[in-house]
């Protein structure tokens, strides 16, 4: 059992970082600084909210999400590891791996000289993780809250053998409506269309979504902008350590069959994800580390 009083005593920062049971007794880190407010659930190392000053939340969280052990949180920034999507050989394994289904430990909280807030969480290999995946590892989620939100997954191979893993920072972005949204920055990029199992190249300057949509844009590290004409804002999504950009919206029919989404949930979010999969998985030798990050903020 996690003791919030103990966490407060060890890691809270007066007026800036605290701990609270916010949703169905799950423990969250709450951050408030001069730049923004943010909520981070220890279950899954899951950022559920990032609210810059004088702005509505950049992230979308499902009102029907489960907040209980054994089920992932729907919305925010789920951490997918050590695979993305379904397991390649075992359909009984959890979608997107096990990292979002486990409690992470707090490693550090700090205020940087520029007044940004730093949160570091960790997950180490254990008998529990080895029930899903046999490798020894040390994982860190390094979260920085400032004018931008930086979320980095740092993976270290602590075993005696090399291993391969896939991952994603599966970010859900808050929209006025899907028809008011366009994504800029993907023109000329090759993609794999998961719904049709076909490859293509985006010709349009601005990606607009009508209906179910799952594309994995390959061999790209280019930043994108999510423009919303009604919210009058442009969310810039940068990344590093990721060679695939996934864009996803379930559309009306699929959304109605996803139990932790309201039937109309598809209308108010789009996922733009920093991904390593589809031939771009990460190879780590013993002792090596690799970091995948997403940097999210309002374009000025």
Q: Which residues are catalytic?
A: 170, 273
Pairing of strands 163-165, 282-284: antiparallel
For residue 121, give the nearest of 238, 272, 17 by alpha carbon: 17
CB 77 within 8 A of CB 59: yes
Instruction: Name the strand (E) or helix (H) holding 254.
Output: helix 251-256
**Cα 242 → chain centroid:** 13
How is residue 255 written in tokens?
A: 């959304």
First to last CA, the chain: 43
CA-based R_g, the chain, Å: 18
Residue 300, classified by CB atoms within 10 Å of its CB into exposed (0-12), middle (13-18) or buried (19+), is: exposed
- Paired residues of 103 in beta bridges: 43
Return phi, psi of residue 9, to 5°. -65, -35
Which residues make Cβ contacts (< 8 Å) with residue 196, sequence separation at least 6?
none
Question: Helix (H, G, I), strand (E, B), or coil: what is residue 6?
Answer: helix
Distances from the Cα of 129 to the Cαs of 100, 165, 194, in angstroms? 12, 14, 28
CB 135 within 8 A of CB 157: yes
How is residue 214 written in tokens?
A: 């799952």
């Amino acid at each position: 059992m996690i003791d919030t009083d103990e966490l407060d005593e060890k890691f809270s920062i007066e007026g800036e970082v605290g701990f609270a049971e916010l949703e169905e007794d799950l423990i969250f880190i709450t951050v408030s600084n001069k730049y923004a407010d943010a909520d981070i659930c220890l279950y899954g190392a899951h950022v559920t909210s990032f609210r810059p000053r004088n702005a509505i939340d950049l992230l979308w969280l499902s009102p029907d999400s489960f907040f209980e052990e054994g089920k992932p949180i729907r919305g925010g920034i789920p951490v997918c590891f050590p695979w993305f999507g379904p397991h390649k050989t075992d359909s009984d394994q959890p979608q997107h791996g096990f990292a979002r289904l486990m409690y992470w430990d707090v490693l550090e909280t700090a205020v940087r000289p520029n007044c940004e807030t730093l949160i570091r969480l960790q997950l180490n290999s254990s008998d529990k993780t080895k029930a899903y995946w046999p490798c020894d590892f040390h994982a860190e989620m390094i979260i920085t809250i400032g004018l931008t939100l930086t979320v980095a997954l740092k993976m270290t191979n602590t075993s005696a053998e090399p291993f391969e893993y896939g991952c994603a920072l599966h970010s859900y972005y808050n929209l006025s409506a899907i028809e008011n949204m366009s994504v800029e920055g993907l023109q000329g990029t090759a993609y794999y269309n998961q719904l049709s199992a076909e490859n293509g190249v985006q010709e349009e300057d601005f990606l607009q979504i009508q209906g179910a949509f799952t594309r994995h844009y390959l061999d790209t590290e280019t930043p994108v902008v999510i423009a919303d004409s009604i919210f009058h804002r442009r969310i810039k999504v940068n990344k590093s350590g990721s060679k695939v950009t996934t864009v996803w919206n379930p559309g009306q029919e699929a959304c109605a069959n996803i139990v932790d989404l309201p039937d109309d949930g598809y209308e108010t979010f789009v996922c733009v994800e920093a991904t390593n999969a589809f031939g771009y998985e990460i190879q780590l030798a013993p002792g090596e580390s690799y970091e995948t990050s997403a940097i999210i903020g309002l374009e000025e």
